[in-house]
């Protein structure tokens, strides 16, 4: 079992920055990858960034160059630094942990979400 708790959301001005944090607890060693997703009003949840157990990162095209995902293993924390924020970044941001159950089966754990609102 993995529990994820996000923090750091809030209100920012366009062009501003925020840093989101996701603290994981439980069976940390079981996590193969962690990521950030977001869901805007009326939209489906979309992948924003992911970091694998080995440290490889991937970003959605819409945030590449502006957002940075990182991890502090000592603190069991994943971060999402968001720079050059735009109003379209407004969404609830969710932390995700991808946990393999078997070779071909995996389970995704989710945090409660943290609201990010960017005003123009």
Token code pair at residue 118: 């960017």
Please report which confidence band the pLDDT of residue 69 belongs to, taking 50, 70 and 90 as the band edges.
Answer: very high
Burial class (CB in 10 A: 0-12, 13-18, 19+), 37: buried
* pLDDT tens track for 72-81: 999 999 999 9
**How does the average pLDDT of the chain come out, rounded?**
96
pLDDT for 102: 86
Pick from 22, 13, 38, 10: nearest CA to 79: 22
* pLDDT tens track for 4-52: 999 999 999 999 999 999 999 998 888 999 999 999 999 999 999 999 9
Checking if the pLDDT of 103 tops 90, the result is: no
Distances (CA, A) of 88 to 43, 85, 109: 11, 8, 26
């Amino acid at each position: 079992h993995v529990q994820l708790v996000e923090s750091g959301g809030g209100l920012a001005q366009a062009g501003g920055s925020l840093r989101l944090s996701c603290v994981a607890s439980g069976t940390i060693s079981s996590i193969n990858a962690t990521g950030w997703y977001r869901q805007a009003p009326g939209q489906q949840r979309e992948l924003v960034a992911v970091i694998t157990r080995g440290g490889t990162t991937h970003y959605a095209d819409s945030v590449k160059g502006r957002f940075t995902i990182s991890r502090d293993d000592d603190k069991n924390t994943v971060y999402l630094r968001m720079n050059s924020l735009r109003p379209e970044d407004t969404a609830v941001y969710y932390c995700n942990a991808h946990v393999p159950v078997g070779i071909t089966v995996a389970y995704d754990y989710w945090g409660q979400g943290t609201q990010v609102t960017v005003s123009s």
